[in-house]
Homo-oligomer: A and B are copies of this chain.
């Protein structure tokens, strides 16, 4: 049994991830403290450092959060771009950059991206661009992780559980059950793969 920090456990993607982590001791973390075991803001280095120190020993970090702004490219402002870049992209890089100092030997990081960098749709340019950044980051940084630490990203299509919200924006997409996405997180955490983008698509 591993000790896993799951960031964003209460979101739909967090719940999907949780279905793949049932063998383990899962500690939850997120922005709103009362709903989680620990409070954390991934855009803030000190907040991450505080989380990892408070937890002590942990074998894996699974992240399912990252804020994105949605707008057509010609309308998207610098503020909207930076909000997305600082959360979904740099927030996840922060998790690994700070987390690698604290995680156990042979630990693992599992980050979240999303299929829109492979299957673009309107309004999602910042989401797609930052997913491309994180998928690339994972492939390259795996080669220099110390102490046997692994890293992968999970790149799912839309969840069945979120279809009611996003379906209209995504014509011709086939949603997948959260439990299938949970399998990808399980493969990342319990396997020996590293530097991989685990696509979950139908």
Residues of A at under 8 Å CB distance from B? 45, 72-74, 76, 78, 81-82, 85, 89-90, 93-94, 97, 100-101, 116-117, 120, 122, 124-125, 128-137, 139-141, 143-146
Q: Are B97 and A90 in contact (CB under 8 A)?
A: no
**What are 9 A-B residue pairs whose CB atoms fall within 8 Å in the complex?**
A73-B144, A74-B146, A81-B93, A82-B90, A117-B136, A120-B139, A125-B137, A125-B140, A132-B132
Of B72, B73, B116, B137, the contact of A132 (CB 8 Å cutoff): B137
Contacts A120-B140, A132-B135; A45 near B90 (Cβ below 8 A): no
Contacts of A125 in B (CB 8 A): 137, 140-141, 144
Q: Which residue of B lies closest to A119 (CB)?
A: B140
* CA A125 to CA B195, docked complex, whole Å: 13
Q: Are A129 and B93 in contact (CB under 8 A)?
A: yes
* CA A131 to CA B139, docked complex, whole Å: 13
A143 CB to closest chain B CB (Å) equals 6
Given A72-B144, A78-B94, A120-B139, 6 new contacts (CB under 8 A): A78-B90, A85-B89, A120-B140, A128-B136, A132-B136, A133-B136
Q: Are A117 and B140 in contact (CB under 8 A)?
A: yes
